[in-house]
C-alpha cells in the first residue's frame, strides 16, 4: 500500500500539485487520470522520488520515503517496477539482456537461472522467441510487453505504469491493460497506472483518482465514474462525440 | 552566478559518480566496453592526426630555418619536443574532446530523454555512477597509451616527411630526435593527458546527464560539452605547464 499525504510540488514557483492525499491499495490497479498537463506524471514521478516534493508525506507500507537517505531510497526502489511511456528499454541490449539487467546488478543467480527467469517473465507477457532481438526490432506493443517483463523480473511489491497505452492501437491497448491487471492480482502488487485513456479506466480501474490543474477533484471506482457530478470529470470523460452519444443513448 | 551553480551541480554529480558501485563485476565489464568504445576506436584518428602533425612541424621548421649556423639535426629535436610537450597531449586531447565528448554527451543525453536513466534509477541503480564512472576510468587508463602512440607516430611522420621531400637527411633527423632528450617531458605529457581524459569524459557527461527536452537539446548539450571541455583543456594546459615546468 502506498499512502500519499498532503503533497505539494512546484517548479520555479509554479504550483503543479496542490495538497494531494490518496491511498493506493495493495492488490488493486489504481489509476491516476486527467488531461494532459494536469499533473499526473509529476505525481507519479514524485511518488517514485524522481522529483523531490516541496511538502507532504509518501509512505510505502508505513515507510516514509521522503525522509529516507539516497541509499535507503535506492534499496526501496529494488521493490519497484516501472513501465515507462516510451518503454525505456536499453537500446544497446537485447530483449533478454534488458530483462535480466536488474538481476545482473542485484543477484548472484547463475546465467541459466537468469535466462530461466527471463523466459518465465516473457512467457507471462505472452512473448516468446524474442530473447535475442534488439528493442529497435520490436513493435510498440512488444516493447511495452518487454518493459512489463523487465518491471516484474524482481518480483516487485509496487508497479508503476506511465501512460502504458500511448501509441498503441485499441486492441493492443486492451491486451496491455489486461496484462497489467492480471499481474497485479496474480502477484498481489500495489499498481499505479497513469492514463488519460477512458478505455483503460473502464477496463481495469478498480480505484481511480482524477486530477485537474494539480488538484485531486474526484476519487472512486470505474463503476462510479460515469455517475459523478464533478463538472471537470464529466468534461474529461465525455470529451468525445462518441462518449457523448453513449451517454445520450443511456439517458 | 550561473557558472557557480553549474560548477556546484557538476561537483554534486561527481560525488554521485564516485560513490561505491553496486556490483564491481558489472562495472568492470562496462569499463572494458568503454575502453573499446572510447579508446581503441580512437586509435585510427590519433594515428592520422599525429602523422600529419609530425610531418608538418618538421617541414615548417625546415623551411623557416634559413640560418646556416644552426645545425639541421635541431629540426628533429624540434619535432620531437613539440610532439612530446604539446601536440600528443593537448592537440590530441582537443581532437578527442570533439570525438569522445560528443559521443558521451549524446549517448547519455539520449538515454535521459528516452527515460532510460529514470529506468536505471527506478531499478535502484546509481545511474550517474553506472553510466559515467566506467567512461572516466576507461579514458584515464587508455588515453596515456594514445599519447604514447601519438608521440611515436608523430615523430615517425616527421621522419617520413623529411626523407620523402628531401628536406632533411634521415641521419640528421634521427640524430635530432636522440639529442638532449629529457625523459620528464613524457611524464609531463602523461600527467596532462590524464587530466584531459577526466575533463573530456566528465564534462560532456555532465551536460548529457542533465539535458531536458528532445533531440535538439541533446545536440545543444553535445556542443556545450565539447566547447566547455575544449576550453577547460586549454586552461588546464596552462596551469599544468606552469606547475610542472616552471
Contact predicate A167/A134, CB 8 Å: no
Lookup result for grid cell 628531401: B166
Interface test with A, best of B18, B19, B119 (most A CBs within 10 A): B119
In this structure, the strands spanning A55-60 and A2-11 are: antiparallel
CB contact under 8 A, A75 and B124: yes
Residue B198 lies in a domain: yes
Contact predicate A31/A199, CB 8 Å: no
Q: Which residue did the predictor score with more confidence, B68 or A61?
A: A61
Domain end, chosen from A155, A178, A198, is at A155
Tell which residue, B8, B12, B172, B199, has the closest CA to residue B90.
Answer: B199
| pLDDT (0 to 100) of residue A239 | 77
What is d(CA A219, CA A199) in angstroms, rounded to the nearest whole number? 17
Give all strands of the β-sheet with A158-162 in edge-to-edge order: A80-83, A158-162, A190-195, A29-34, A207-212, A215-220
Domain co-membership, A43 together with A13:
yes
Element (DSSP H or E) covering residue A30: strand A29-34
The count of structural domains within chain A is 2
| pLDDT (0 to 100) of residue B153 | 97
Domain co-membership, A161 together with A58:
yes
The count of structural domains within chain B is 1
The residue of chain A nearest to residue B114, with distances taken between CA atoms, is: A88
> Which residues form the domain of B131?
24-45+85-157+183-245
Contacts of A85 in chain B (CB under 8 A): 115
How far apart are the CA of B106 and the nearest CA of chain A, in angstroms?
Answer: 14
The three cell numbers of residue B102 are 560528443
Quote the mean pLDDT of chain A.
Answer: 89
| pLDDT (0 to 100) of residue A37 | 87
What is d(CA A169, CA B210) in angstroms, rounded to the nearest whole number? 33
Domain co-membership, A168 together with A225:
yes
pLDDT tens digits in sequence order for chain B, 246 residues long: 788 999 999 999 999 999 988 888 889 999 999 999 999 999 999 999 999 999 999 999 999 988 888 899 999 999 999 999 999 999 999 999 999 999 999 999 999 999 999 999 988 899 999 999 999 999 999 999 999 999 999 999 999 999 999 989 999 999 999 999 999 999 999 999 999 999 999 999 999 999 999 999 999 999 999 999 999 999 999 999 999 998
Largest CA distance in chain A: 61
Q: What is the pTM of this model?
A: 0.88
Interface of B with A (CB under 8 A): 22-23, 26, 110, 114-116, 118-119, 121-126
Domain co-membership, A170 together with A227:
yes
How far apart are the CA of A105 and the nearest CA of chain B, in angstroms?
Answer: 6
CB contact under 8 A, A74 and B124: yes
Domain end, chosen from A120, A155, A190, is at A155
Residue A105 lies in a domain: yes
| The three-state (H, E, C) secondary structure of A61-123, written as one string | CCEECCCCCHHHHHHHHCCEEEECCCCCCCCCCCHHHHHHHHHHHHCCCCHHHHHHHHHHHHH
Q: For A10, list phi and psi in degrees, rounded to 5.
A: -135, 155
pLDDT bracket for residue A71 (50, 70, 90): confident
Contacts of A84 in chain B (CB under 8 A): 115, 118-119
| pLDDT (0 to 100) of residue B51 | 97
Domain co-membership, A147 together with A166:
no
Most confident of A55-69, A184-198, B16-30, B140-154: B140-154
Sign of CA dihedral B64, B67, B70, B72: positive
Output the domain CATH number for residue A192.
3.40.50.300
pLDDT bracket for residue A223 (50, 70, 90): confident
What is d(CA A202, CA B5) in angstroms, rounded to the nearest whole number? 47
What is d(CA B243, CA B188) in angstroms, rounded to the nearest whole number? 10
What is d(CA B171, CA A14) in angstroms, rounded to the nearest whole number? 74
Domain co-membership, A71 together with A194:
yes
Residue A206 lies in a domain: yes
Domain co-membership, A143 together with A163:
no
Interface test with B, best of A77, A100, A194 (most B CBs within 10 A): A77
Residue B133 lies in a domain: yes
In this structure, the strands spanning A207-212 and A80-83 are: unpaired
Residue A84 lies in a domain: no
Sign of CA dihedral B74, B75, B76, B82: positive
Domain co-membership, A115 together with A75:
no
Terminal Cα-to-Cα distance of chain A (whole angstroms)? 38
The residue of chain A nearest to residue B23, with distances taken between CA atoms, is: A105
Residue % of chain A over a pLDDT of 70: 99
Domain end, chosen from A121, A155, A189, is at A155
The residue of chain B nearest to residue A89, with distances taken between CA atoms, is: B116
pLDDT bracket for residue A251 (50, 70, 90): low
Domain co-membership, A64 together with A161:
yes
| pLDDT (0 to 100) of residue A160 | 93
Contacts of B37 in chain A (CB under 8 A): none
| pLDDT (0 to 100) of residue A106 | 87
- Which residues contact residue A220 at a Cβ distance below 8 angstroms, ignoring those fewer than 6 apart? A207, A208, A228
Domain co-membership, A71 together with A181:
yes
Residue B237 lies in a domain: yes
3-class SS of residue A126: coil
**Does pLDDT of A135 surpass 90?**
yes
Instruction: Select from A82, A90, A104 the Cβ nearest to the Cβ of B122.
Output: A82
Q: Between A and B, how many residue pairs show a Cβ–Cβ distance under 8 A?
A: 55
Residue B151 lies in a domain: yes
> Which residues form the domain of A131?
89-155
What is d(CA B49, CA B43) in angstroms, rounded to the nearest whole number? 10
Residue B76 lies in a domain: no
Domain co-membership, A151 together with A161:
no
- Which residues contact residue A192 at a Cβ distance below 8 angstroms, ignoring those fewer than 6 apart? A2, A24, A30, A31, A32, A44, A47, A158, A159, A160, A161
Instruction: Select from A86, A105, A160 the Cβ nearest to the Cβ of B123.
Output: A105
pLDDT digit string, tens, across residues A93-130: 999 999 999 999 888 899 999 999 999 999 988 888 89
What is d(CA A24, CA A170) in angstroms, rounded to the nearest whole number? 26
**Does pLDDT of A248 surpass 80?**
no
Interface of A with B (CB under 8 A): 45, 48, 50, 74-78, 80-82, 84-86, 88-91, 101-102, 104-106, 160
Domain co-membership, A34 together with A137:
no
Residue B118 lies in a domain: yes
The interface predicted TM-score (ipTM) is: 0.84
Contacts of A106 in chain B (CB under 8 A): 22-23, 124
Amino acid at each position: 500500500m502506498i499512502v500519499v499525504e498532503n503533497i505539494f510540488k512546484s517548479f520555479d514557483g509554479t504550483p503543479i500539485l496542490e495538497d494531494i492525499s490518496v491511498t493506493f491499495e495493495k492488490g488493486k490497479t489504481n489509476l491516476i487520470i486527467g488531461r494532459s498537463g494536469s499533473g499526473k506524471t509529476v505525481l507519479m514521478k514524485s511518488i517514485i522520488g524522481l522529483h523531490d516534493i516541496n511538502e507532504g508525506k509518501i509512505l510505502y507500507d508505513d515507510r516514509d520515503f521522503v525522509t529516507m537517505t539516497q541509499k535507503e531510497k535506492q534499496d526501496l526502489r529494488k521493490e519497484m517496477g516501472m513501465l515507462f511511456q516510451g518503454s525505456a528499454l536499453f537500446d544497446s541490449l537485447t530483449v533478454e539482456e534488458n530483462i535480466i539487467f536488474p538481476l545482473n546488478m542485484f543477484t548472484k543467480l547463475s546465467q541459466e537461472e537468469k535466462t530461466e527467469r527471463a523466459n518465465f517473465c516473457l512467457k507471462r507477457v505472452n512473448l516468446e522467441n524474442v530473447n535475442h532481438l534488439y528493442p529497435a526490432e520490436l513493435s510498440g506493443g512488444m516493447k511495452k510487453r518487454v518493459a512489463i517483463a523487465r518491471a516484474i523480473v524482481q518480483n516487485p511489491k509496487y508497479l508503476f505504469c506511465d501512460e502504458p497505452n500511448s501509441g498503441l492501437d485499441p486492441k493492443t491497448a486492451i491486451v496491455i491493460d489486461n496484462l497489467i491487471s492480471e499481474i497485479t492480482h496474480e502477484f498481489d502488487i500495489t499498481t499505479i497506472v497513469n492514463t488519460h485513456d477512458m478505455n483503460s479506466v473502464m477496463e481495469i480501474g478498480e480505484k481511480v483518482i482524477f486530477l485537474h490543474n494539480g488538484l485531486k477533484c474526484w476519487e472512486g471506482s470505474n463503476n462510479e465514474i460515469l455517475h459523478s457530478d464533478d463538472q471537470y470529470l464529466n468534461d474529461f470523460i465525455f470529451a468525445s462525440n462518441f462518449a457523448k452519444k453513449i451517454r445520450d443513448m443511456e439517458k | 552566478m550561473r557558472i557557480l551553480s553549474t560548477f556546484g551541480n557538476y561537483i554534486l554529480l561527481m560525488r554521485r559518480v564516485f560513490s561505491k558501485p553496486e556490483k564491481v563485476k558489472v562495472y568492470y565489464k562496462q569499463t572494458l566496453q568503454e575502453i573499446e568504445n572510447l579508446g581503441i576506436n580512437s586509435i585510427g584518428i590519433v594515428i592520422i592526426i599525429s602523422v600529419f602533425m609530425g610531418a608538418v612541424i618538421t617541414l615548417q621548421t625546415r623551411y623557416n630555418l634559413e640560418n646556416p649556423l644552426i645545425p639541421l639535426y635541431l629540426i628533429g629535436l624540434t619535432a620531437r619536443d613539440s610532439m612530446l610537450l604539446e601536440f600528443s597531449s593537448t592537440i590530441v586531447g582537443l581532437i578527442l574532446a570533439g570525438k569522445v565528448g560528443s559521443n558521451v554527451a549524446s549517448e547519455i543525453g539520449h538515454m535521459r530523454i528516452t527515460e532510460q536513466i529514470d529506468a536505471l534509477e527506478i531499478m535502484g541503480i546509481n545511474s550517474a555512477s553506472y553510466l559515467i564512472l566506467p567512461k572516466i576510468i576507461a579514458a584515464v587508463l587508455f588515453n596515456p597509451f594514445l599519447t604514447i602512440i601519438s608521440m611515436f607516430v608523430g615523430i615517425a611522420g616527421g621522419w617520413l616527411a623529411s626523407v620523402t621531400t628531401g628536406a632533411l637527411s634521415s641521419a640528421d633527423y634521427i640524430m635530432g630526435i636522440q639529442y638532449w632528450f629529457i625523459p620528464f617531458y613524457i611524464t609531463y605529457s602523461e600527467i596532462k593527458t590524464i587530466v584531459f581524459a577526466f575533463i573530456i569524459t566528465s564534462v560532456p557527461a555532465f551536460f548529457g546527464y542533465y539535458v531536458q527536452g528532445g533531440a535538439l537539446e541533446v545536440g545543444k548539450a553535445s556542443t556545450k560539452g565539447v566547447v566547455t571541455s575544449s576550453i577547460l583543456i586549454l586552461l588546464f594546459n596552462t596551469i599544468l605547464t606552469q606547475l610542472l615546468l616552471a
